[in-house]
Amino acid sequence: MYELMIELDSNGKKPLYEQIYEYIKREIQEGKLPFHNKLPSTRILAKNLQISRSTVDLAYEQLVSEGYILPVACKGYYVCQIEGLYHINKTKEMNAYDIEKKQENIQYDFTPNGIDTENFPYSIWRKIMKNTLMEDNRELFQLGFPLGEPNLRATISTYLHQARGVNCSPSQIILGAGNDYLLMILSQIIGTNHIIAMEDPTYKQAYKTFCNLKIRVNCIGLDKDGMNVEQLEATDSNIAYVMPSHQFPLGIIMPIKRRMELLNWASKRENRYIIEDDYDSEFRYIGKPIPSLQGYDVNDKVIYMGTFSKSIAPAIRVSYMVLPQNLIKDYYQKGFYASTVSKIDQTILNTFINQGYYERHLNKMRATYKNKHDILLNELKRIKNIISITGENAGVHVLANFPKEVKESLLIEKAKQQNVGVYGLSDYYIKDDRHENTTILLGYASLAEKDIKEAVDRLRNAWEF
């Protein structure tokens, strides 16, 4: 059994359980805690660190859920085998460390990729996790179904139909640890000789994934209704990647007329498809939720993708893809990958949804984000340099638009001098020549309500020049 020399910062920003979790995870990734070695019991570690046992329990449970350690009944916790599955390049690790050090001065971070972790239902998740592991079900530690566990896929199928108007059977759903993995699976099914049209600006991670898969990408401009179908028709693209319910980063909500135009474009040729990325449709503040594009599809042309990263937490690492019937047949013929989401995590998530906790959590987060949204918009009215706010009807970020003569880089640097992190729209463009206006993204999910006013006060000091 290894002793863990953990130095905790009781006055730090990170909770103690998170410091323990990150220390052990790093030790395992770097090979300093080898496979099958036993960790100290939660009681012993808590005593050594002079903290509560529940704090250590929480850290260990997170490591179990991510597959770094394994609980063995009556024996304790052991390091899992990850060699060959996870490798950290030392140079990259140092670069990541340097970036983290640079961010230390950012006291208020308006990242558009954040979530509210304060309101995560830790006690509920912990209870479900404990109950799941106490059942002594050895099947949970076996490889599961390649598409994902049938009961969770059935649960997601029901949820998608009720909440998003998606029409699908559980057999059409593939689960994976993130959209990147699912896009890789999709490329294995349909091949890489397709040409994908992407909105510009867009979600750059998807663009990078397509490039890494050697798939050619055409950039299509956006108008007030989303992807310009006339521009799309003029290209040789046969797959369109869109975010119709809440385009990232511009926040455009695609109206029904434009959706029908897209579906009509896809129906004209046999090998045309639409990838619908429905990444954060749960959060809408004006009117009713916008139904999915897939729900209008009568020709089996829409590949629907979603995730629990925004609605629950990024660490859950559960995304889902709904394939048209003809493509799911191709998957069964070509598919050979094991599921990248553990059966334990899938079981926990399925219980979380089926017992009503997910719906209650969503309702709570909608109210929380709506409050933060309203506070931010009210405070931004005091910054005279901003000429307009857009993208405010849904999601967890807004766009602050400035006069063209104001330089984006200057706005970011002035904010940084006030220890506030903001992000320019130019980072999300594929083609630099498309970027004309000066726009800053302000994500509010990870900021506490009480901090938003102070953060905007600092931006006002920084930007009124």
Q: Where are the domains of the chain?
A: 16-105, 110-115+359-463, 138-356
Q: With bands split at pLDDT 50, 70 and 90, how would you rate the model's confidence at 91?
A: very low
Residue listed under structure tokens 């020549």: 433
In this structure, what is the dihedral angle of CA atoms 464, 409, 243, 430, given to the nearest 10 degrees? 160
Secondary structure class of 306 (helix, strand, coil): strand
Q: With bands split at pLDDT 50, 70 and 90, how would you rate the model's confidence at 359?
A: very high
* Chain segment 416-439, per-residue pLDDT in tens: 999 999 999 999 998 865 556 799
In this prediction, residue 335 carries a pLDDT of 62
- Sign of the Cα pseudo-torsion (81, 82, 85, 89, in order): negative
Which has the closest alpha carbon to 406: 428, 383, 378, 379? 383
In this prediction, residue 340 carries a pLDDT of 87
Cα gap 329→335, rounded to integer Å: 10
Considering only 266-270, 386-390, 453-457, which range has the smallest mean pLDDT?
A: 386-390
* Chain segment 100-146, per-residue pLDDT in tens: 444 557 899 999 988 998 889 999 999 998 888 887 777 777 777 88
In this prediction, residue 20 carries a pLDDT of 92
Tokens of 237: 């693209």
Tally the C-alpha atoms within 13 A of residue 73's C-alpha that lie toward its C-beta: 7
Beta bridge partners of 320: 175, 306
Cα gap 13→26, rounded to integer Å: 19
In this prediction, residue 1 carries a pLDDT of 59
* Chain segment 39-84, per-residue pLDDT in tens: 999 888 988 888 989 889 888 888 887 778 888 877 888 888 664 4
Residue listed under structure tokens 């809440």: 246
Question: 16-105 has which CATH code?
Answer: 1.10.10.10
pTM value is 0.76
Q: With bands split at pLDDT 50, 70 and 90, how would you rate the model's confidence at 90?
A: very low
In this prediction, residue 93 carries a pLDDT of 41
In this prediction, residue 76 carries a pLDDT of 85
Considering only 5-19, 70-84, 154-168, 395-409, which range has the smallest mean pLDDT?
A: 70-84
Q: With bands split at pLDDT 50, 70 and 90, how would you rate the model's confidence at 308?
A: very high
Question: 138-356 has which CATH code?
Answer: 3.40.640.10
User: What's the CATH class of domain 110-115+359-463?
Assistant: alpha beta
In the chain, the amino acid numbered 223 is D
- Sign of the Cα pseudo-torsion (331, 335, 337, 338, in order): positive
In this prediction, residue 301 carries a pLDDT of 97
- Sign of the Cα pseudo-torsion (337, 340, 341, 343, in order): positive
Is residue 95 over pLDDT 60?
A: no
Residue listed under structure tokens 């080898």: 34
Measure Cα distances from 375 to 102, 349, 437 in Å.
Answer: 28, 32, 25
* Chain segment 317-347, per-residue pLDDT in tens: 899 999 999 998 888 877 667 788 889 899 9
Measure Cα distances from 66 to 11, 141, 173, 315, 346 in Å.
Answer: 27, 13, 22, 8, 12
Cα gap 442→377, rounded to integer Å: 10
Is residue 209 over pLDDT 50?
A: yes
* Chain segment 223-259, per-residue pLDDT in tens: 999 999 999 999 999 999 999 999 999 999 999 999 9
DSSP line for 338-359: PPSS-HHHHHHHHHHHHTTHHH
In this prediction, residue 98 carries a pLDDT of 42
Average pLDDT over residues 7-33: 85
Q: With bands split at pLDDT 50, 70 and 90, how would you rate the model's confidence at 96?
A: very low
Q: Is it true that 16-105 and 138-356 share their CATH fold?
A: no
Beta bridge partners of 424: 440
Residue listed under structure tokens 């975010």: 243
In this prediction, residue 287 carries a pLDDT of 63
What's the mean per-residue pLDDT of the chain? 87
Secondary structure class of 298 (helix, strand, coil): coil
In this prediction, residue 5 carries a pLDDT of 81
Average pLDDT over residues 18-37: 86
Tally the C-alpha atoms within 13 A of residue 418's C-alpha that lie toward its C-beta: 22
The better pLDDT of the pair 138, 218 is held by 218
Q: Is the Cβ–Cβ distance between 301 and 324 less than 8 Å?
A: yes
